[in-house]
Chains A and B, each alone.
Chain A
Amino acid sequence: MERGRLLRDSAPDFITGCRVDAVRFLLVPTPARPEQATRVELDSINRVGTPGLLRRTGHPSAPPRPDGDLDLAAKLLRVLSLPGTGLPTLDALEWPGALMPFQEDGVRALMGSDRLLLADDMGLGKTLQVIAALRILRHRGDVHSALIAAPAGLLDQWRGELRKWAPDLSAIIIRGSASDRGWQWQAETDVTLVSYETLRSDFEGNIQAPVRRRAWDVVVADEAQRIKNRNDTSRSLKGLNRARSWALTGTPIENHEEELASILEFVDHDRNGQPKRYHPGPELFSRHRQLQLRRRKGDVLEDLPEKQVTLLPIELHAAQRSSYDKAELEGVVYLRSLGRNITIQHVLELITRLKQICNADPVNGESSKLDDIKERLELLVGQGHKALVFSQYTSDTSGVAAAAGYLRKFNPLVITGDIPLQDRPSIIERFRNDAKHRALIISLRAGGLGLNLQEASYVFHLDRWWNPAVERQAEDRTHRMGQTAKVNVIKYSCTDTIEERIDAILSGKQELFDRLVDDVSMDLSSRLNREELFGLFGLERYA
C-alpha cells in the first residue's frame, strides 16, 4: 500500500505462503446509459492498453494464467457489481416467501455463472433458485430467452413454481401435436419448458428446427441425470445454441464416472460451438470441482427433522415361503439345465421372480410385508400420520396394485406410469388435502422425482431397488424443506431369501462407494460381477 501501509506490525507471522489474488476493475463513463453515469467494465482493460487484469502478490514467480484469470475476474465482477450498478438484486424484487441464505447464495452463483452444475441435495429448492436467478437476470436485461428441459412429469410443476415465484415472466410448455409445437417454439416467451423427449424429437432430423435456430440465453437441464448417457436426448441438449448452461441434479453420478462426464459436456459448453468431450480422469474431476455447487441438507437445514432408515428383516408367511422355495428350486434347476448357455439375464429374471414372491404370494396373495405395513398404518393413522409406499412393480399380484388392494381401508391413492401426467397433480392435491387418504402408493420410477410430499412422514419400500440413489430420491419426496416431522423409512428384507443375500453384497459395496464418491451413489446392479450374481444361487460361472 502507499498511504495506508502498515506502520507497525508486531505480530509474528506464523502463517506463510498466504497468496493473495487481487482483481482490479475500472470505472468508465457510459454515455449510452445516462441514468448510470458510470459502470464497471472488464473490456476497458484492453481499451487502456493494460496487459493484464490480475495482479498477483506474494508469489511473483507464479506464472500468469491470463485466460483463467480473466474468466474468474469476469465472474467476480458480476457477483460484486449487482447493487452498485443499480440493477435488480434479490432484495430489490418482491418474493412470495423468504429464500434461505444458502438459496440466496445459490441464486447468486447461478447469476454469476454461465456454467454451473447445481448439485444440491434433493429437497433444497434447486427449482426455486433457478427461477429466482432467471427472474433477476430477466429484470436486468441479461436474459430474454430461457429453455428449461425437464422430465415430462415435472413440467406443470415448473410452470406452477414460475407462476408463484416469477409471475412477471411469461412461460410456455412445448407439447401437443407437431403443428402445435411448431408455433409454440416460435412464441417469444421468457421461459420455454420442454420435456427431454419432445426436445429430442423436435431437434432431430431438421436442421432448420426452431429450437436449433434460436439462440438461448440460458438452457437449464433439470434432473440432469437424464443426460448422463451420450444418446440422442443428451446430444440434442448439448447441441443447443446457448450462452449459459445450468444443470440441476442431486445425483450427478448414478452409475459410473462417464455419466458425470456427459453432464459436464453440457455444462461446460464451448461458446464457439465445439462440443467438448470429457473422460474419467484428473481433468474431469478437476473441472467437476470448479463447476459444481453442492450443498447437503445436513449442512444447511439445521431444522430439518432427521430421517431414520430401518432395514427390517421379516419372515415370509407359510404359503409365501412354500411358493418362494418352490420357485427358487425350480429356477435353480432350470438355470443349471442351461449349462453354458446361461446368461446374466437368466439370473436377473429369476431374481425378479423371487423378489415379486417376497412382495406377495402369487397363489393366495398373502404378504408378510403388506401385513406389516397394514399393522403399522393402523397405529400411525390414529396418530395423524400419512405414508408413502414405493414399489418397483405395478402388478396386482406383487406391486403397486396389490398394495392398493391390501391397504384399501386407508383409501390409498396410486401413481404409476399408467396415470396420465396431467392427472397426477390432482392426485397429489387429494393426498395432501383430503384427510381420508392416508397412503399414497407409487411406482418407484413414476414417482421418484419431482414430487413434494411433505405431508407424509413415513416411507415404506415394499421392495428394494438396485440403486440406493433411486431409493433416496423417493424418500426425499418427503424428507425435504417444509417437513416438520421426523421421517421414518422402512425397508424390508425377507429372511433367508434372495433379498437378504443381495442386501449383504450391496451394503458392502455401497459403503465403499460412499467413501469414494462423497455420498454419490452408484447403480450397484451394474457393479455386481458375474461371480456374485451366479453365486447368489450357488451356481458356478461359465466362461
Chain B
Amino acid sequence: MPIPFDSAMDDETPGVLGFLRFLDEERGKGIRAALFVTSALLLPLEFGFTRADVTDSVLREEGQARRVAVVSLIRELFRSINRTPDVVLGLADEIPPLVFSEELEVEIPVCRISIDPAPRRGASEEIEQLGSSLFVVWSTPPPGDGTVARRLLKLLAERPNPLEPFDRVSAGIAQAYRER
C-alpha cells in the first residue's frame, strides 16, 4: 500500500537520490546490501536491505560469484522500493564495472563514485570529476545539464562530505542485522 507523502520542502527542492551499498560479512561468504532512498536534502525516505550468500563454484571464474550476488541483490533492492530515484549512486569499490550496462539495464541514471581519480571501470564507462574530490563512473548515459539528476549531484558534491550518506547506509545495515 503506498504511503501518502507530504512535504513542503521537497516541493522547493525536488528530487530523490538512491544510495547503494554492498558490505562483505565478517564471517562466512555473504554480502549485505541496502538501497537508501533520500530526499534532495538527504532526508531518509526508504531503506531496503537484504543479504545473499556468495557461493564459489568451479563452474565460475574467480570473482564471478560475487558479481552474480551483487546483481541479484541490486535486482531485489530495486524491486523493493516505491519511489523512483532520479539518480542512484554506488561505490566504485563495491559494484563491479559494467554491471549496469551488461547485466542490468535501468531507465534512470546510475553511477559508481570514488575518491580515487582512476577507479575500476569498464571500457565503455565514462568518468567525470564532480566537485573537487569526487570521481563518477557512469554506467548509464550521464544525465544532461539542467536535469534533476544533475542538480542533485551538484548539491551532493557541494556538501562537506559527499560520501557521508554511504556511512549512514552502512550504519543502517549494521543496525538491521543486529536485530536479526
Contacts and interface: CB of A to CB of B under 8 A. Distances in A.
A9 B3 contact: no
A50 B4 CA distance: 8
A317 B36 CA distance: 69
Interface in B31-53: 36, 38-39, 41-53
A299 B26 contact: yes
Contact of B44 (A6, A22, A25, A75): A25
A13 B47 contact: no
B7 A109 contact: no
Q: Among B47, B55, B84, which residue has the most Cβ atoms of chain A within 10 A?
A: B47
B132 interface: no
B58 interface: no
A290 B72 contact: no
Given A4-B85, A25-B46, A27-B45, A10 B103 contact: yes
Given A18-B52, A25-B46, A48 B4 contact: yes
Nearest to B48: A22
Interface stretch (B111-119, B150-158, B168-176): B168-176
B57 to A, nearest CB: 9
A14 B85 CA distance: 27
Contacts of B39: 27, 84
Contacts of B36: 80
Interface in A306-348: none
A13 B72 contact: yes
Given A1-B81, A8-B105, A105-B174, A81 B9 contact: no
A509 B8 CA distance: 65
B44 A84 contact: yes
A290 B105 CA distance: 37
Contacts of A10: 102-103
A405 interface: no
Given A11-B104, A27-B9, A27-B10, A18 B43 contact: no
Interface residues of A, number: 58
A91 to B, nearest CB: 6
A57 interface: yes
A57 B46 CA distance: 14
B107 interface: yes
B161 interface: yes
A6 B80 contact: no
Contacts of A91: 160-161, 164
B78 A6 contact: yes
A48 B44 contact: no
18 contacts: A3-B108, A4-B106, A15-B69, A18-B51, A18-B52, A20-B77, A22-B82, A24-B45, A27-B9, A57-B48, A58-B80, A79-B172, A84-B38, A91-B164, A105-B174, A108-B174, A112-B171, A112-B175
Interface of B: 1, 3-10, 26, 36, 38-39, 41-53, 55, 68-69, 71-73, 75-82, 84-85, 88, 102-108, 160-161, 164-165, 168-172, 174-176, 178-180
